[in-house]
Amino acid sequence: MTRLSAEAYAIVEGRHSDPFHYLGPHMENDRPIVRAFLPQASDVEAIDESGRTAVLTRVHDAGLFTGSLPDGTSRYQLRARFGDDPCMLYVRGREVRVETTPPMQWQADGELMGQTPFDVVVEPLAVRLLVPAS
């Protein structure tokens, strides 16, 4: 593991007052990088719009990952694996397409919604969460 900054330790210890000041896409040494905090993830990749991938390196056992973005892109998605479970996949992005072979029924909040494939679009500010301070 590499030596981490105080800001990185604030992320993994859950005490950073503005996590995305550190997490997400940033410039470091004049190159675009991305940082992600995904506890329990075993592997994380950044994927650009063309499907090119870049493996992110785990820099802390708590689940802090960092790496270069594919070809310096600014638009990306994250794909994460959680252990050896092939059914668990984390994808981060504004739009996600879910496909299965064979097609399957899918639910949202316990209600049958249809059959795969389907697209999910994240609407900015569509959900407001209240989280306790401690």
Q: What percent of the chain has pLDDT over 70?
A: 84
Q: Residue 59 has what pLDDT? A: 95
pLDDT digits (tens, 9 = 90+) for 106-123: 887 778 888 988 888 887
Domain boundaries of the chain, sorted by first residue: 6-93, 96-124
pLDDT at residue 7 tops 90: yes
pTM, rounded to two decimals: 0.67
Asked if residue 54 lies in contact with residue 76, where contact means CB atoms within 8 angstroms, the answer is no
CA distances from 133 to 12, 129, 130 (A): 17, 12, 9
Q: Which residues pair with 55 in a beta bridge?
A: 45
Specify the higher pLDDT residue, 99 or 14: 14
pLDDT tens digits, 50-98: 888 899 999 999 999 999 887 767 778 888 888 776 666 666 667 778 8
CATH number of the 6-93 domain? 2.60.40.10
At 8 the pLDDT is 93
40 pLDDT above the threshold of 90:
no
Record the tokens describing residue 48, joined without a space.
């650009």
